[in-house]
């Protein structure tokens, strides 16, 4: 195989795959201390994850990535659960992304509509089913939309936010509503709420395990990946920090909504500089940009599950392809499940709360495969010590174990703490119950279904051998 990937190719892929505009208002809601969270998140999660996945990818460069690593370490069943939760994750990631887009789209009409949860839920469901039907038809226009999503949904909006934020403070001398003092930079680490905040932001840095699967096409992977991870971490953290600070220079942290924070800030500054037309332009850019990402996330997890788990584990009707070579039944079932989730989560009191709940569920379901990956790393070092590893975690066994310990601690914190500590907006027993049922029950039900599917598959195999 010809090696065509170089250092900056990997770096740019990491940056494009990981940076997400919608994480900025969540961080900005914590004011000056958000800088601390971004840096610590990179040190205890992003860098360990990158180093471990680089070693595993260069040692087992087969197509399938995380699925292959877990299968080699623990066998077919845990590997299936790993791929299964990659798909289940999209059930929550997808509506959370459409919620962000729906709230953004309301700024084209009336920003006050962003707080109407029934309107937002309706817009989410319309968006979900529209993209579902378009993907079933295999429309080529969605491919172009996906290519434009990075430019429209990330790069240009981030640049505009940074220019407007710092421009308002430096050139327009607008009052800065956020206190930037030494005491405000460092949060109270004894607060469980603040630790939960750190755990939530770590999800915004997840995904770096995908690029090391290109190790076979990378020049000198043993040198390229550690350097790419370090440089990517610096670029990603600096981008998050600068853009977060830019938002806090415009709007006070306590007024920033998780779903509408970016548009709230843009609305304020655009009217202050007498350029209100910037608001609808930015709204269109962000919606169109994220629409491409939503389309890609609709099909990609399904196809990864099907390709990784061949052999009759899933029902035949689910994996059947239509004339457009699309898994239509699986896509329709996915949209139906997402619809039920959205209707159930609409029982929560506000748009911000059900948006935050969807993000937390996305984090939990996405991090379950990480638990398998981190433990697989240590087991594979014991069971396959002679396997060539072109890229090893530097620093010997101690640093390797430290990376695993930090990774597991980070992931478990991100999964457990949000369940223990509901969002601040949830303050009555009924809504707390709904919130916890969504978190604990959702992940638990899908775990049971996954294991039942595999048990059913094993049972059929045993019957066939008799």
Domain boundaries, the chain: 7-465
Mention every residue, 6+ apart, whose C-beta is less than 8 A from residue 223: none
User: Does residue 241 contact residue 204 with C-beta atoms inside 8 Å?
Assistant: no
Would you list the DSSP string of 140-192? THHHHHHHHHHIIIIIHHHHHHHHHHHHHHHTS-PPP-S---HHHHS--TT-H
Q: Scan for tokens 């968006």, then name that residue.
A: 127
CA–CA separation, 212 and 55 (whole Å): 8
Supply the pLDDT for residue 120.
Answer: 92
User: Does residue 426 contact residue 432 with C-beta atoms inside 8 Å?
Assistant: yes
Secondary structure letter of residue 392 according to DSSP:
P
Of 313, 30, 56, the residue nearest 180 (C-alpha): 30
In degrees and rounded to multiples of 5, residue 445 shows phi and psi of: -65, -45
What are 453's two structure tokens? Answer: 């599917």
Supply the pLDDT for residue 384.
Answer: 94
CA–CA separation, 243 and 92 (whole Å): 25
Q: Scan for tokens 């509509």, then name that residue.
A: 113
Record the pTM.
Answer: 0.80
Q: Give the largest CA-CA distance in the chain.
A: 81
Can you identify the CATH homologous superfamily of domain 7-465?
Answer: Amino acid/polyamine transporter I (1.20.1740.10)
What are 114's two structure tokens? Answer: 């962003």
Mention every residue, 6+ apart, whose C-beta is less than 8 A from residue 204: 18, 20, 23, 41, 240
Supply the pLDDT for residue 123.
Answer: 93
User: Does residue 158 contact residue 286 with C-beta atoms inside 8 Å?
Assistant: no
Supply the pLDDT for residue 359.
Answer: 84
Cα 141 from chain centre: 24
- Distances in whole angstroms, Cα of residue 10 to Cα of each of 57, 119, 218, 227, 391: 14, 41, 9, 10, 15
Per-residue pLDDT of the chain (466 residues; tens, 9 = 90+): 567 678 887 887 777 667 777 788 878 888 888 888 888 888 888 889 888 988 887 788 765 678 888 999 999 889 888 888 888 888 888 888 889 889 888 988 888 888 888 999 999 999 889 888 877 765 454 555 555 666 666 778 888 888 888 888 888 788 888 888 776 777 665 555 566 667 767 878 887 776 665 666 678 777 787 788 778 888 888 889 998 898 888 888 877 776 667 787 778 777 777 788 888 888 888 887 777 666 666 666 776 677 666 667 777 777 777 777 777 888 888 889 999 988 888 888 888 888 888 888 888 888 999 999 999 999 999 999 999 888 888 888 999 999 999 999 988 888 888 887 777 777 788 888 888 887 888 788 889 998 998 888 888 888 777 6
Secondary structure letter of residue 393 according to DSSP:
P
Q: Scan for tokens 């899933």, then name that residue.
A: 314
User: Does residue 78 contact residue 351 with C-beta atoms inside 8 Å?
Assistant: no
Supply the pLDDT for residue 422.
Answer: 78
Supply the pLDDT for residue 404.
Answer: 95
In a 3-state reduction of DSSP, which class is residue 352? helix
């Amino acid at each position: 195989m010809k090696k065509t990937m170089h250092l900056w190719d990997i770096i740019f892929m990491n940056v494009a795959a990981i940076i997400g505009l919608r994480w900025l208002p969540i961080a900005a809601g914590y004011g000056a201390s958000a800088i601390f969270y971004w840096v610590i998140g990179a040190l205890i999660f992003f860098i360990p994850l990158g180093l471990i996945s680089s070693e595993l990818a260069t040692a087992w460069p087969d197509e399938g990535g995380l699925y292959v690593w877990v299968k080699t370490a623990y066998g077919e069943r845990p590997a299936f659960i790993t791929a299964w939760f990659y798909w289940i994750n999209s059930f929550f990631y997808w509506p959370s992304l459409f919620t962000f887009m729906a709230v953004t789209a309301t700024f084209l009409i009336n920003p006050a509509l962003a707080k109407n949860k029934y309107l937002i839920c309706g817009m989410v469901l319309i968006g979900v089913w529209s993209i579902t039907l378009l993907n079933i038809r295999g429309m080529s226009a969605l491919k172009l939309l996906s290519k434009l999503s990075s430019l429209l949904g990330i790069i240009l909006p981030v640049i505009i936010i940074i220019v407007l934020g710092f421009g308002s403070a430096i050139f327009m001398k607008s009052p800065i509503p956020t206190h930037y003092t030494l005491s405000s930079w460092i949060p109270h680490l004894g607060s469980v709420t603040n630790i939960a905040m750190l755990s939530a932001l770590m999800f915004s840095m997840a995904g770096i395990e995908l690029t090391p699967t290109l190790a076979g096409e990378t020049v000198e992977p043993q040198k390229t990946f550690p350097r790419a991870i370090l440089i990517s971490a610096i670029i990603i953290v600096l981008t998050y920090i600068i853009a977060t600070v830019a938002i806090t220079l415009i709007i006070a942290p306590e007024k920033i909504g998780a779903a509408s924070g970016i548009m709230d800030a843009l609305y304020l500054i655009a009217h202050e500089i007498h350029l209100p037309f910037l608001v609808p332009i930015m709204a269109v850019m962000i919606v169109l940009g994220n629409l491409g990402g939503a389309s890609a996330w609709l099909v990609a997890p399904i196809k990864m599950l099907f390709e990784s788990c061949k052999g009759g584990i899933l029902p035949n009707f689910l994996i059947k392809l239509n004339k457009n070579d699309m898994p239509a039944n699986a896509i329709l079932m996915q949209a139906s499940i997402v619809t039920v989730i959205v209707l159930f989560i609409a029982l929560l009191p506000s748009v911000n709360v059900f948006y935050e709940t969807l993000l937390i569920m996305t984090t939990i379901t996405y991090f379950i495969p990480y638990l398998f990956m981190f433990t697989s790393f240590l087991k594979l070092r014991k069971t396959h010590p002679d396997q060539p590893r072109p890229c090893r975690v530097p620093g010997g066994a101690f640093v390797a174990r430290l990376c695993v310990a930090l990774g597991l601690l980070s992931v478990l914190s991100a999964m457990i703490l949000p369940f223990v500590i509901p969002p601040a907006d949830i303050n009555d027993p009924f809504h707390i119950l709904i919130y916890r049922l969504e978190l604990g029950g959702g992940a638990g039900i899908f775990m049971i279904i996954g294991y039942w599917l595999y048990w059913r598959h094993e049972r059929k195999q045993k019957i066939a051998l008799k």
